[in-house]
Structure 1
């Protein structure tokens, strides 16, 4: 497994990055309240669509366009989905880290326990 070099601008903690991005987005948000929250959720759908577009592009399924993406593009788009989802979760609750950690623990337990049941 290859080691990825640490980006010089990356904070040491995932949740520190999520908080900084959330704050940055909130400061520049042209809409407020529930409208801003709904738009944050729609942004997630936009990012998921970009994953689909990249997969179609890497497989050449659009005959008019041919092969337009790489698997690295797909990886990048998936990362955008994860970041956008974490920021959306942070928009819903300041306890995003705890909510996510508890949810992941539950999904992991249910999934791994289902193999032995």
Structure 2
């Protein structure tokens, strides 16, 4: 078994607690690293716990990539790549609890 090493990131308490409750604590930093690697041009990457508007008891950890100044097509391609690599990082059902949101510069 190979250990996966990731850069240390800190997450707000609600995100960290949710990740721990769902067995995603080890995955969280890896997904953060993935997001930063694919979107180095972002002004910021925020990680937030978001409740579904229609089902407030359903929550998702969103990696919100802010301040993008790239073509929408490239953003779409990178989003697709993020989702593909997420399957390798988190192959189980926990993957459904992780999301990506892209926010372009106004």
Structure number having the greater helix percentage: 1
TM-score range, shorter chain: 0.3 to 0.5
Structure number having the greater strand percentage: 2
Q: TM-score, normalised by structure 1?
A: 0.30
For the pair shown, which has the larger CA radius of gyration, 1 or 2?
1
